[in-house]
Structure 1
């Protein structure tokens, strides 16, 4: 049996994640996931890839909004769920451009000071629909400020297999998944197509290509060579190193840690196959 073991959201893109016991499913991901984002002077998203210090911001969800703590000095900021400005600007995430709402001057000043660079905080209102890549999803698929898709699924067995190959085991937070499950074989998530959790339907659409963010220690913001060095030896397909499955979601319902993950169909296309694979979940 496959069981959900972790649910994680990252309310502000590329900052710390929050482990949850329950999460509401929306068509653009788990509720609150990557609905906020830091941008630079050119309105481009900021990421740990270039700014590892972003790992040092922790977040908790309160009834009134997000509480962000800068772990380097303990300073905290409350970000209300409703932005304090009406200013909308076009922001860019990779090759995409979509509207974002400036949250507040206070947030801009606080993050600029604590991150040590000029930045602003934007929010994605409900009426902003950022499309996913139509090569892999339906044309009406949407996502938040995530890199490309609403959610990421990884099996604990996959991380366990990777860690068996490493000199020092790494935690799951290096890979920033939204849903982690136990049971099954390593990399069984690769070929999952239609799955459901507590009646919420989800669809695997593309294996996740991994980048240098996975080499950043989320507790210290220091960089290393792993896990990419080891993953490249057995999880490379063409120029990409693959670990985890990107998901689309159908809005509705709540999922919880301990729920059963049911696999209804699996992929057979070559692009989902990386080395020897199981045929049943």
Structure 2
């Protein structure tokens, strides 16, 4: 009998030695498993740990309310999922079209870049050389028809802004009849992924080419101008954000960046077209520079030719991960691993 009788007549059981060893071994194994899991979790966390590294400063901000018209410099902008916003001016939420709905840009009508846009008291104001200033309500009457439009071969809607502004644009451009349409929040946006497959299914735009935000660095512009006889301006390239305090074309490598309380993800570089050759001050298309010079040293790697084809690269497109507010003077950060 493996026990001992106590003074109260109780039998006190003494565990067999084998039980002790097996219990101790099980406890040690359990402790080892816990410690192992803790260390593994620690290694995984260390692998994910990152810090913010400053890479530049916001020098200028631009909103382009009407696609291909002059940009509006702003000191502060809200960054929405579909691009920059300043008050009621939203980036490329208005579009000039032919009567059949096909978009019209400065590629076809270079003088569009001479039309200035502003907003006050709920009115979109248009101004151009030798034209009387014209105002259009931002919130259009429901009686104005919704038109089916085509932007780079994709369908999208826009509410017609009326005959008066249509005649104003047609007169200034001395063109066939054109219309102005406005994208409204209830309308279905275009999917960036349907334009370039490297975007995510959640990335959407109204009338921009493909992306909510375009960033260019001042150093990239300076580098280009060292190679040109006739210097060009940042307005030739129509970015939303111009960044300083970084090296030329460094923006090509930015993957995840933070400005103010806004988080953005780099997607693809901006493949440049003939629109860059339109002089933003005269509305005259050169058709050669700065595009030819860019082609001499800014073509993509052959492995990426299926994305960019023969277009030179200048600037980088970004999608918006976290909306918020940015200001001129804000530092620009990128995420890097803790050991960098």
Alignment TM-score, normalising by the size of structure 2? 0.75
Q: Note if 1:243 corresponds to 2:314.
A: yes
CA distance, structure 2, for counterparts of residue 60 and residue 106 of structure 1: 17
The correspondence for 1:48, drawn from 81, 95, 106, is: 106
Equivalent residues of 1:157, 1:185 under 8 A apart: yes
Deviation at residue 74 of structure 1 after TM alignment: 3.9
User: Deviations for 1:160-204, whole angstroms, at most 9, x for unmatched residues?
Assistant: 111111112211000000000101110011011111110101111
Partner residue in 1 for 2:192 = 132
- Write the distance in 2 (CA, Å) between the matches of 1:23 and 1:208: 22
Aligned equivalent of 1:12, options 49, 61, 66: 66
Preserved contact between residue 53 and residue 221 of structure 1 (Cα < 8 Å)? yes
Equivalence for 2:290: 227
SS of alignment partner, residue 48 of structure 1: coil
Q: Which residue of 2 aligns with 1:271?
A: none
Kept in 2, the 8 Å contact 1:195–1:265? The answer is no
Q: Secondary structure at the residue paired with 1:184? A: coil
Partner of 1:274: none
In structure 2, C-alpha distance between the alignment counterparts of 1:234 and 1:24, rounded to whole Å = 35
Equivalences, count:
266
Deviation at 1:265, TM superposition (A): 5.3
Taking the aligned partners of 2:153 and 2:336, their CA distance within structure 1 comes to 31
Q: What is the TM-score with the length of structure 1 in the denominator?
A: 0.90
Which structure shows the bigger proportion of residues in helix conformation?
2
- Counterparts of 1:13-162 in structure 2, within 5 Å, are 13-31=67-85, 32-71=90-129, 73-84=130-141, 85-117=143-175, 118-128=177-187, 129-134=189-194, 135-162=197-224
Q: Deviations over 1:46-84 (max 9, x none)?
A: 01111111112111232322211012x042111221123
CA distance in 1, matches of 2:74, 2:331: 16
Q: CA deviation at 1:12?
A: 0.4
Listed as ranges, the gaps of 5+ residues in structure 2 are 1-53
In structure 1, how many angstroms separate the alpha carbons of the residues matched to 2:103 and 2:336?
35
The C-alpha deviation readout for 1:80-117, integer Å capped at 9, x for no partner, is 21123441121011021111111222222222222222
Aligned partners of 2:122 and 2:139 also within 8 Å = no
- How much is the aligned-residue C-alpha RMSD, in angstroms? 1.6
